Amino acid sequence: MLQMSWLIPLFPLLSFILLLLFRKSKSESTAWIGVLLTGISLVMSVGVFLAVWQGEGIKTEGTWFQIGERAITMGFEVNPLNALMLVIVSLVSFLVHLYSKGYMHGDERFPVFFAYLGLFSFAMLGLVVSPNLLQLYMFWELVGLGSFLLIGFYYFKPEAKAAAKKAFVMTRIGDVGLFIGMVLLFWQVGSFEYDEIFASVKNGDISSGMLTLTALCIFVGAVGKSGQLPLHTWLPDAMEGPTPVSALIHAATMVAAGVYLVAAMYPLFQASEAALTVVAVVGGLTAIFAASIGLMQKDIKRVLAYSTVSQLGYMMLALGASGYVAGIFHLTTHAFFKALLFLAAGSVIHAVHTQNIEEMGGLWKKLRITGPLFLIGALAISGVPLLSGFFSKDEILASTYADGKYGLFWLAVIAAFMTAFYMFRLFFLVFTGEARGNEKGVHESPSVMTFPMIVLGVLAVVAGYLNTTWFGTFLSDYLAQGPVELPHGDHHGPAWIPLVATLAAALGIGLAYLIYQKGTLSRDWITRSFPSLAEVIYNKWYIDEGYDQTVVKGTRGLSKLGVLFDRYVVDGLVTAVTNGVQGLSKIGSRLQNGQVQSYGTAAIFGIVILLLIVALTGGYFS
């Protein structure tokens, strides 16, 4: 089974190629090509996962090309971490394929959409099985391409165009960081292989300054991909893509690639205390910052997008606080419940054809399947006990606390409170109360869409039991087989931490209930009390505007300056030279007065000069 694991990414690639060939087909049964091929990938991934669970692993590499003495290799590797990722990615991808069959019904570029999904799945799975940094980087970029294509799927919408461009460019900024880190590491280690990098980290071949530098550069890549502060702005905009795409890429898989990257390179980070601290601080700040923006958004998908950013911040915080298992654990559970939430949101949008939550309401009765599933997702993400989010979030808090980062700990708790609040604000506004918009003809989505949601709903409930203090820490035992040495084993801090987390969640839910369901508290209570703060938060802390004013304007200004420089200085120089030549030739042409005697005089001057040279130098050839 393991020997065949390199085939896993290739099935979606096949799907991509086949569907591009069928792109003109009007039949929507083409979707089954994609579904079937990703299904095969899923089955194989599960097989591989089970094999790895038994303690197996594999790594195969071959020379890709050779430069001088050095060979650049390509291959695949299966270890506990990426086997888990394989399952997550192929599962979500499979479910999203299935869901899209219903969601994209009637779109005229139906096969193209599935082709792009296939391309993305190929890239993401390829990223996961990469055995070295270079290969990872290549798939990393391809993943970005898939994301770009899918965000820009509605190419005729200007917003989609802008969002696709922004996503590509912002993540590219991060990618360049990763690129620099990778190249610097190469010259330190002489290889892109994870194993060799870790070996030289362990042997102390790399100076500590260089370690920190490379780790931070690589982290910049993760920041870009995972939408961490300050490169997060593309992720909410990416919601211009079709909703299944948001579920697949911008909730469960691609954005988690940043977290995966940090996890995969964990020994490097472990070697540098400074780098870990930076990771934790960026993660913690992102968590609370994004959560605060999520409080006031009106677009259902944007709320979820900020929630994603915030949860990714949690994962980074966990990794930065030496909570390796906690980070991966949260990545897993988050993949399920966030995908569920997005798919449910998609189902809602599919039903009411708007994304503005102000125009929804009272959908609980009409969407009998979507509603409860959304509720499960909301409960899970809020960290309500016994659902998956509770366990993973608890572990993150515990490891942060155990790592002695108390400030970040309390930040995370507040973020948890906010998460609970905005998720239930969303829930109450969408599903309860009166219908505020035109909700005639609203009906439940077809079963091809509800089935994936149900599967994810089940997983959102049970995934938490992968790693609990009550039943056993399966996940950490499993991950301990991997190449990463797990940091200080037991992370289970004081028993009051789960209580605090639960309390925060309960407070958030309760507050949302009071404001949006009961109406006990006025809705604009906060807005009125702190108008300027609310303004700032509503405008997403003016980050976009800030970038617009500084980076974008600056770049454009530089470019304009360059154009002027090109026109006036470079071309000006040329013009000056040509004018000079022209002036000289004007003088010269005055000499050409048509009188033979003047020419004769000039010729004599020439002869005199030549004779002078000969007389002074004694002749060149003598």
Partner 1 sequence: MSSVPLTAYLMLALILFCIGLFGALTKRNAVIVLISIELMLNAVNINLVAFAKYSINPGLTGQIFSLFTITVAAAEAAVGLAILIALYRNRQTVNVDEMDTMKR
Partner 2 sequence: MNAWLLSILIFSPLLGVLVLMFVPSNDEKSIKWLGVLGTLFPLGIALVVLSAFKMGGEGLQLTEKFSWISYEVFQSKGQVSYPIFYEVGVNGLSMVLILLTAVVSVLAAIASFSIKQNWKSYFILFFLLEMGMLGVFAAQNLFLFFIFFEITLIPMFFLIGRWGYLEKEKAAYSFLIYNGVGSAILLIVFVALFMKTGTMNFEQLAYTFSLPQAELNQLFITKGFKMGMLIALLVAFAVKLPVFPLHSWMVRVHVQAPPAIVMIHSGILLKIGAYGVIVFGAGMFPDQFKSLAFVIGLFGVINLLYGAFLALTQTDVKRVLAYSSVSHMGIVLIGLAAGNEFGMTGAVFQVVSHGLISALLFFLVGALYERSGSSELSAFGGVAKRMPILAGVFLAGGLASLGLPGMSGFISEFMAFLGLFEKMPVLAAVGTLGLILTAVYVLRAVLAITFGAEKELHEARDLTSSERVPAFVLLAAILFIGIYPAWLSDMLRPTLDAILLGLGG
Partner 3 sequence: MTGEMIAFFLLALTAITGGVLLINLTNVVHMVVALIFTFIAIAGIYITLSAEFVAVVQVLIYSGAITIIMLFGIMLTRHQEKEKRAPRLKIILTGLAIGLFFLIMYGKIKDLNFGQQDVELHVDNTKKIGIELYSHYVIPFELTSVLLLVALIGSIILAKRDDDEKEAKK
Binding residues vs partner 1 (CB under 8 A): 592-597, 600-601, 604
* CB 103, CB 244: distance < 8 Å: yes
Q: Residue 57 carries which side chain, given as an amino acid letter?
A: G
* CB 41, CB 128: distance < 8 Å: no
Q: Which is nearer to partner 3, 582 or 595 (CB)?
A: 595
Which of 26, 605, 619, 622 is in the footprint of partner 3 by CB under 8 A? 605
Query: Token pair 């993150």 is at which residue?
Result: 396
Residue 433, sorted as left (phi over 0), alpha (psi -120 to 50) or beta, turns out to be left
- The first and second tokens of residue 451, run together, are 């089935």
- Three-state SS at 495: coil
Residues that bind partner 2 (CB under 8 A): 23, 63-70, 134, 137-139, 141-142, 145, 152, 155-156, 158, 160-161, 164-165, 168-169, 172-173, 175-176, 179-180, 183-184, 186-187, 555-556, 558-560, 562-563, 566, 569-571, 573-574, 621-622
User: Least distance in Å: CB of 617 to partner 3?
Assistant: 13
User: Least distance in Å: CB of 561 to partner 2?
Assistant: 8
Piece of 64-72, 347-355, 506-514, 598-606 that binds partner 3 (CB under 8 A): 598-606
Does 607 interact with partner 3 (rule: CB under 8 A)?
yes
Which of 533, 580, 598, 599 is in the footprint of partner 3 by CB under 8 A? 598
Q: 157 - beta bridge partners?
A: none
Which residues touch 606 (CB under 8 Å, ≥6 apart)? Answer: none
Cα separation, 89 vs 98, in Å, equals: 14
Residue 361, sorted as left (phi over 0), alpha (psi -120 to 50) or beta, turns out to be left
Helix residue spans in 466-552 (DSSP H)? 474-479, 496-512, 525-529, 531-538, 543-547
User: Least distance in Å: CB of 614 to partner 1?
Assistant: 17
ω into residue 230 within 30 of 0, thus cis? yes
Residue 198 binding partner per list partner 3, partner 1, partner 2, none, with a CB distance cut-off of 5 to 8 Å that depends on partner kind? none
Q: Which is nearer to partner 1, 207 or 595 (CB)?
A: 595
Does 604 interact with partner 3 (rule: CB under 8 A)?
yes
Q: Which is nearer to partner 1, 569 or 607 (CB)?
A: 607
User: Least distance in Å: CB of 585 to partner 1?
Assistant: 15
Q: Residue 553 carries which side chain, given as an amino acid letter?
A: K
User: Least distance in Å: CB of 362 to partner 2?
Assistant: 36
Residue 584 binding partner per list partner 1, partner 3, partner 2, none, with a CB distance cut-off of 5 to 8 Å that depends on partner kind? none
Q: Which 558-597 residues touch partner 3, going by CB under 8 A? A: 597
Q: 299 - beta bridge partners?
A: 356
Q: Which is nearer to partner 3, 386 or 615 (CB)?
A: 615
Which residues touch 207 (CB under 8 Å, ≥6 apart)? Answer: none
Q: Which is nearer to partner 1, 209 or 600 (CB)?
A: 600
* CB 189, CB 150: distance < 8 Å: no
Residue 436 binding partner per list partner 3, partner 2, partner 1, none, with a CB distance cut-off of 5 to 8 Å that depends on partner kind? none
Residue 566 binding partner per list partner 3, partner 1, partner 2, none, with a CB distance cut-off of 5 to 8 Å that depends on partner kind? partner 2
User: Least distance in Å: CB of 613 to partner 1?
Assistant: 20
Helices and strands (DSSP H and E) totals, the chain: 27, 4
Q: Residue 64 carries which side chain, given as an amino acid letter?
A: W
Cα separation, 175 vs 157, in Å, equals: 27
User: Least distance in Å: CB of 148 to partner 2?
Assistant: 8
Does 615 interact with partner 3 (rule: CB under 8 A)?
yes
Per CB under 8 A, residues contacting partner 3 are 597-598, 601, 604-605, 607-608, 611-612, 615
